[in-house]
Chain A
Amino acid sequence: MSIRAFLYSLPLIISMAIFILLWRGLNLHPNEIASPLINQPAPFFQLPDLYRRKEIVNNRNLLGHVSLLNVWSTACSACMEEHDFLLMLSKQQSIVFIGLDYKDDTHAAKLFLKEHGNPYQNIAVDESGQTAINWGVYGTPETFIVDKRGFIRYKQIGAITPEIWEKTLKPIVQVLADEKI
């Protein structure tokens, strides 16, 4: 009898399982692709600085402190939206902001920063977009949290809002800031 009862309830069990699976699917974000570079050394890069074209920005700029490498462009509206918040954050001393100006009109970029303020310590100019590919970037804005040894520890896809910062990014940065080199 119990086997019979089990067999009769089988369709219900199976449809419940499918229901749960599909329900879960509603809350997934297929646009956010997990980066395989987490906990890996930051990929090599070497690019001219936006303001001092003869200077280069490279992996050395990421060493010795926790850095936020922010991929942005003046052509990206979400980047423009997060800018004010990044500017505010950059005034907290423990984080170094490195900008990666992605396939941008550098003149427009300078103009924008002059008008709205510059949160970045250095801005690397990625004219071809090939450095961004090497970092697994597939859209702007994206922000990498890089530890003191130059390892990528987290990747934020999309704009940094105050909520995302408080809930997700700030705790990670705090843990990394306490790490010994």
Chain B
Amino acid sequence: MKIFWDDAFRVCSIALLLVLAIPAFASKDLYPFSTPDQQNRFYTLTSELRCLVCQNENLAESNAALANDLREQIHTQILNGKTDNEIIHYLVSRYGHFILYRPPLDASTIGLWAGPFLILLIGIFYLVKRAQK
């Protein structure tokens, strides 16, 4: 009886290991890179870029067909030695700033960046005035 349970345990643990190994293999095969640095850049880039179809998902997480193609594009560009800036510049030149989750500081977004600080300053000014009274 002891032997049966040992075998059963062994079979189960091997099966479990195999099941756990599948996603690891899958993700490795999908976007192979030659260095871990490239791999990291790929994950950082795809998590900072928006999936344009689903809009509230980033490229790393989205299952949309376009997100898949864009990941492919980024993968190829990284392998071709393009820098992060070059890749982002390329995608922005095609899809606009909307593809970035972090909007850049320019004339159209100045209110977005400065607005909260402006409101904070007004609040502080108001408080100081009140305290003086």
Residues of A within 8 A of B (CB): 30-31, 33-37, 43, 103, 128-130, 133-136, 138-139
Q: Is the CB of B73 within 8 A of A36?
A: no
For B73, the chain A residues whose CB sits under 8 A away are 130, 133
Q: Is B92 an interface residue (CB 8 A)?
A: yes
Instruction: State how many residues of chain B have any CB contact under 8 Å with chain A.
Output: 15
Known: A36-B94, A103-B65. 16 other contacts (CB 8 A): A33-B52, A33-B98, A35-B96, A36-B92, A36-B93, A37-B93, A129-B65, A129-B66, A129-B69, A130-B69, A130-B73, A133-B69, A133-B73, A135-B94, A136-B94, A139-B66
Binding site for A on B (CB under 8 A): 52-53, 55, 65-66, 69-70, 72-73, 92-96, 98
A76 to B69, CA, bound (A): 17
Interface pair A138/B96, CB less than 8 Å apart: no
Write 12 A-B pairs (CB below 8 A) sorted by A numbering: A33-B52, A33-B95, A33-B96, A33-B98, A35-B96, A36-B93, A36-B94, A133-B66, A135-B94, A136-B96, A138-B53, A139-B53
Report chain B residues within 8 Å CB of A129. 65-66, 69
**Hey, which chain A residues are within 8 Å of B93, CB to CB?**
36-37
A75 and chain B: residue at smallest CB distance:
B65
Is B55 in contact with A30, judged by CB distance below 8 angstroms?
A: yes
Closest to B96 in A: A36
Decide if A34 touches B69 in the complex (CB within 8 Å). no
Minimum distance in angstroms from B55 CB to a CB of chain A: 7
> Which chain A residues lie closer than 8 Å to B95 at the CB level?
33, 36, 136, 138
Of chain B, the residue at the smallest CB distance from A128 is B69
Nearest CB of chain A from residue B36's CB, rounded to whole Å = 26
Shortest 10 CB-CB contacts between residues of A and residues of B: A136-B94, A138-B52, A36-B96, A129-B69, A33-B98, A136-B95, A133-B73, A138-B66, A133-B69, A36-B93
Q: Inside 8 A of B70's CB, which chain A residues have their CB?
A: 133
Q: Which residues of A contact B72 (CB under 8 A)?
A: 128, 130
Residue of B nearest to A34 (CB): B96
CA distance A67 to B65 in the complex (A): 28
Bound: A139/B95 CA distance, A = 12
A34 cross-chain contacts in B, Cβ below 8 A: 96
Cβ-closest chain B residue relative to A132: B69
Most chain B CB within a 10 A radius of its CB, from A31, A128, A129: A129
